[in-house]
Amino acid sequence: MKVLVVAGARPNFMKVAPILRALETAGHEAILVHTGQHYDTAMSDTFFKELGIKTPDYHLGVGTASHAVQTARIMEAFEPVFTKVHPQWLVVVGDVNSTVATALVASKLRTETHGHIAHVEAGLRSNDWRMPEEINRVLTDRLADLLLTPSEDAAPNLTAEGIPASKIVFVGNVMIDTLMLQLPVARAANTLERLGLRRRHYVAATLHRPSNVDDPIALAAVLEGLALVADSLPVVLPLHPRTLKNIERFHLGPMLTPLTILEPLGYTEMLALTDGAQCVLTDSGGIQEETTALGVPCVTLREQTERPVTITQGTNRMAPWPLTPRGILDTYLDSVAAVAQATPPRPAGWDGHASERIVKALEDKRPLKHY
């Protein structure tokens, strides 16, 4: 079976790593395309090295641009690659611009190439159409022939949109495959020592959603909330490039003084930071899942989450919206107190074997027509 796998941005890399490995183990031909949506060492190269991802067979080098331009560039560059490779399956992961752009190219070429599209992480919904990721998720699910869901709450979202149940396969969370493989490596590395931190004696934070960082008032409120938390324990904030740019643009640099600021971390160091934290404050999707898998308390700095399983069966809770410094502090205090009492078991399918189930689903639903 010939499978073309796409990766474009940081949250994709930990998802494609186990899929590529499982495809290879099962004797299938895997071709990797990197769109270049994320391009620098900290946001891309480090992950390839640490996670043992093969050098991409094709690198589209699209880089940063407006949504329309970035999406269009990916489509233009991907079309000839897709036609040339002529795979039976296109596998796309997550909800970034690279996901929807490549799925759209493949779907338009369907009658010519007979290639089929599988979406890994299908069925998550925030129901917030202001988020670019929500648009990407919904459209990709609509285009896909095979919808591979990460948690049991995802399929009802798809059937409610009219997607036939026959296209949906529950495979579990592939990001947890990577987490389980890398956790011993992360624990053996001396990350906390190097950063001068003691296990459970610091709070980790991440921030990059446009809703939090593209508006000066919203960004100032979150930074003030983190400063309130930092009155109790050090707050460590690896800064996403988008956030750093906006802090400079809005002249909010002095608000970083109470915080411990780091460059973006690689996978292993970020995992070590998350695993050792007393609590994590974040607007990331993936970190809500990672904290749930690790049993670390998490406060989500968003209006809603597309990953409700991390609340119903995990360690996550939402800070009240709109975010206020006091609301962030109070939710942090509640969260730490609640999770100290009991660590819930991991959600179904978060067991380190999702990539094998993904390959099995591709084999089972192998397109019959292929020329």
The catalytic site residues sit at 208
Q: How far is the CB of 134 from ligand UD1 (least distance, A)?
A: 10
Residue 130 CB neighbour total at 10 angstroms: 10
Tell how strand 316-318 and strand 298-300 pair up: parallel
Nearer to ligand UD1, 40 or 112 (CB): 40
Q: How far is the CB of 339 from ligand UD1 (least distance, A)?
A: 24
Q: How far is the CB of 53 from ligand UD1 (least distance, A)?
A: 15
Angle at 40 between CA 38 and CA 44, to 5 degrees: 60
Q: Which two tokens stand for residue 337?
A: 């107190």
Q: Sign of the CA dihedral 359, 363, 364, 367?
A: positive
How many residues are given for the chain?
371
Q: How far is the CB of 66 from ligand UD1 (least distance, A)?
A: 9
DSSP annotation string for 216-262: HHHHHHHHHHHHHHTTTS-EEEEPPHHHHHHHHHTT-GGGGTTSEEE
Q: How far is the CB of 123 from ligand UD1 (least distance, A)?
A: 17
* Distance of alpha carbon 5 from alpha carbon 9, whole angstroms: 13
Q: Sign of the CA dihedral 59, 60, 64, 67?
A: negative
Decide: 296 and 279 in contact? Cβ < 8 Å. yes
Q: How far is the CB of 133 from ligand UD1 (least distance, A)?
A: 5
Nearer to ligand UD1, 39 or 250 (CB): 39
Nearer to ligand UD1, 61 or 80 (CB): 61
* Distance of alpha carbon 190 from alpha carbon 323, whole angstroms: 34
Q: Which two tokens stand for residue 370?
A: 């292929």
How many CA within 13 A on the CB side of residue 52? Answer: 7
Q: Work out the end-to-end distance of the chain between its first and last CA atoms, rounded to an integer number of angstroms.
A: 13
Closest CA to 357 of 179, 158, 170: 170
Decide: 314 and 153 in contact? Cβ < 8 Å. no
The string over 205-232, giving b where at least 16 C-beta atoms fall within 10 Å of a residue's C-beta and e elsewhere, is bbbbbebbbbeeebbebbbbbbbbbbee
Nearer to ligand UD1, 23 or 175 (CB): 175
Residue 261 CB neighbour total at 10 angstroms: 14
Give residues in contact with ligand UD1 (CB under 6 A): 9-11, 37-40, 43-44, 64, 95-97, 132-133, 208, 241-242, 245
Q: Which two tokens stand for residue 356?
A: 């094998």
Q: How far is the CB of 365 from ligand UD1 (least distance, A)?
A: 27
> What does residue 110 show for φ and ψ, rounded to 5 degrees?
-55, -45
Nearer to ligand UD1, 246 or 268 (CB): 246
Q: How far is the CB of 350 from ligand UD1 (least distance, A)?
A: 20
Nearer to ligand UD1, 23 or 204 (CB): 204
DSSP annotation string for 147-188: EEESSTTHHHHHHHTT--GGGEEE---HHHHHHHHHHHHHHH
Nearer to ligand UD1, 151 or 246 (CB): 246
Nearer to ligand UD1, 13 or 202 (CB): 13
